Amino acid sequence: MADIKKADRKLKYWGWGYEDAGLDGDQTKALLATFADGFGINPSRDGAFPTLDAIELPKCRLEAPASLEDVCTDDKFERVYHAFGQSQPDSLRTYAGDFDHAPDIVAFPETERHIAEIYEWAGKTNAAVIPWGAGSSVVGGVTSDVGSKYNGVISVDMGRMNKVLEVDEVSRAARIQGGALGPDLEAQLKPHGLTLRHFPQSFQHSTFGGWIATRSGGHFATLYTHIDDLVEATTTVTPAGDIVSRRLPGSGAGPSPDRFVALGSEGALGIITEGWARLQGRPTYKATAGYRFTDFFDAARAVRAVSQAGLYPANVRIVDGTELQVNGAGDGSFTLMVVSFESADHPVDAWMERAEECCLDHGGTVDVPWRDNPDAHLQGAVGAWRTAFIRMPYNREQLTPRGIISDTFETAITWDRFEEFYGAIKDATQSAIRDVTGHDGAVSCRFSHAYPDGPAPYFAFHAPGDPQNMLAQWQELKTRASDALIKHGGTITHHHAVGRDHQKWYEQQRPALFGDVIGDAKKRLDPKGVLNPGVIVG
């Protein structure tokens, strides 16, 4: 098999991003001090992730056919790297050296034909196929643990199909391959003065195809922030053939193919090899402001007012006191609201002025003013939060070895039910932490997105774990939080996707008969059931 070299910078198999990126010593100290001082959460161990040498892999059970030899490898690092995504249990199992389920082969297809050949091969040998964008799933969507029904596992890394193939500057759209990473596709669009402007927190290590498969939500809080709305057409390669939708700005011809076989399909129906995406001009006018609220619900009402005003800010986001404190951006005494507008076309003053009125009307006070302040996004609590937000994905690799449980979950709910819902979810999570760990832990909340009819609350929880039992502890916490989400009318996921970790609750949330319809689609498109078993179709 081929000796496959990746980019110059080596990726971590035990955490987020490249080996040379992460928290430095001082940042780690500060993080641990925040937990200890603010919440009484102290390390319960001081361990380390296993080295590559120390990890034992089962023997590779598969041999690539000749036509795929050049794009397949059983290299140890690749098998280890592709065994897990970025979830809390992924981190815990990596720490434990639990790699029995690692993929036998990692394939790096370069063409649709390669993918079709992988399906054929998998069908013949009864191997599972795990589509892999860049492995940023926090819900077990790429974890190659498929049980004993398969004779092998092939992780299909789309990293070589990473080009922007065509740019249409007139319509502002581009044809982009599924394996293009966020930064790579933006770099290819930049010379055209255009941007996809889709910035999920995973931006650096997630792909265009992965965004579509998981119905990704971007950093922006309103309007065109979901990949759903940015997709003009898709090409999905399934074991039964290709599904290529027509490139159209809008269509009312029957149910949308993009919205069924591509968006939300999570690798269970096919692999999205390319798509046409809607682009925007690169913003030149920007304004950001920060407001403090002593009451979290007042802040939520301000978000509602701005969301229902038809202003469509780039951001309208609140971060509760605990979430600020956990991230070193506040002392816990206030909720922060960030509002920002951007435009490639016109000054945004009129928009910003009206949004500020909404914030002040609901009891906000200015933390960072927007007028004549181009650096607002770097100042005060706004800037501190921004720095923490960018750094956040690197925290877990420091916390897992120290026995601190650290996870997030996110949902959406209509405004009428929000306050009760927020209380119920927070209580359920907090009491679960007390029951499971004997400590209070920290449960915090921010809004990731805001709609006229409701917010998307994003919860984080931290607790000191029992080193011998952390995976089971996490599972219990996850179960009780997820049960509460479903019971109180939320969605099990707003933009993190279903994956293996949410499948049980997804099946409760999804209308049963619609589940049957998806099952039929699975049988039609993936008749041998090789694609991402256990995800979307149970």
Footprint (CB under 8 A) of a copy of itself, residues 451-480: 451-456
Establish if 232 lies at the interface with a copy of itself (CB under 8 A). yes
Contact pick of 107, 115, 376, 413 for a copy of itself (by CB under 8 A): 413
Question: What three-state secondary structure class fits 112?
Answer: helix
Q: Minimum distance between the CB of residue 197 and a copy of itself, rounded to whole angstroms?
A: 11
Are the CB atoms for 326 and 460 separated by under 8 Å?
yes
Q: Which one, 301 or 402, has the nearer CB to a copy of itself?
A: 301
Which residue in 212, 412, 433, 531 binds a copy of itself (CB under 8 A)? Answer: 412
Q: What are phi and psi of 393, to 5 degrees?
A: -60, -15
Residues 315-374 that bind a copy of itself (CB under 8 A): 343-346, 349-351, 354
User: 317-336: b or e for each residue (b if 16 or more CB lie within 10 Å)?
Assistant: bbbbbbbbbbbbbbeeebbb
176 neighbors 187 (Cβ within 8 angstroms) = no
Which range binds a copy of itself by CB under 8 A, 12-20, 103-111, 154-162, 254-262? 254-262
Min dist CB 117 to a copy of itself, Å, is 18
Task: Please name which of 478, 505, 484 lies closest in space to residue 427, comparing C-alpha atoms.
Answer: 484
248 binds a copy of itself (CB under 8 A): yes
CB of 502 to a copy of itself, least distance (A): 7
Stretch that binds a copy of itself, among 101-109, 246-254, 369-377, 466-474 (CB under 8 A): 246-254
Between 9 and 346, name the residue whose CB sits nearer to a copy of itself: 346
Does the protein bind a copy of itself through residue 215 (CB under 8 A)?
yes
Nearest-5° Cα angle at 267, 263 to 271: 85
> What is the C-alpha R_g of the chain?
23
User: Does 302 participate in binding a copy of itself (rule CB under 8 A)?
Assistant: no
The residues pairing with 92 across neighbouring beta strands, listed in sequence order, are: none
From 251, 431, 468, 469, residue interacting with a copy of itself (rule: CB under 8 A): 251
User: Binding of a copy of itself at residue 496 (CB under 8 A)?
Assistant: yes
Tell me how far apart the alpha carbons of residues 206 and 189 are, in angstroms, rounded to a whole number. Answer: 17
Tell me the window of 8-16, 273-281, 395-403, 432-440 that interacts with a copy of itself (CB under 8 A). 273-281
SS3 annotation, 474-530: HHHHHHHHHHHHHHCCCCCCCCCCCCCCCHHHHHHHCCHHHHHHHHHHHHHHCCCCC
Q: How many residues bind a copy of itself (CB under 8 A)?
A: 93
- State yes or no: residue 256 binds a copy of itself (CB under 8 A): yes
Q: Which residues, other chains included, contact 256 with Cβ-Cβ below 8 Å and sequence gap of 6+?
A: none
The span of 64-72, 77-85, 448-456, 476-484 binding a copy of itself (CB under 8 A) equals 448-456
Q: Distance (Å, rounded) from C-alpha 154 to C-alpha 134?
A: 15
* Neighbouring C-beta atoms of residue 19, cutoff 10 Å: 12
Structure-block tokens of residue 159: 């990293």
The DSSP-derived string for 303-347 is: HHHHHTTT---SEEEEE-HHHHHHTTS--SS-EEEEEEEEESSS-
Site for a copy of itself in 497-516 (CB under 8 A): 497-498, 502, 506, 509-514, 516
Residues 127-146 that bind a copy of itself (CB under 8 A): none
Q: Tell me how far CA of residue 410 lies from CA of 181, 187, 444, 449, 502, in angstroms.
A: 23, 30, 11, 10, 11
Near a copy of itself in 515-534, by CB under 8 A: 516-518, 520-521, 523-525
| Closer residue to a copy of itself in complex, CB, 77/312 | 312
**Which residue in the set 86, 201, 207, 238 belongs to the binding site for a copy of itself (CB under 8 A)?**
238
Cβ 192 to a copy of itself shortest distance, Å: 13
Residue 41 is a binding residue for a copy of itself (CB under 8 A)? no
- By CB under 8 A, name the one of 37, 56, 69, 242 that touches a copy of itself: 242
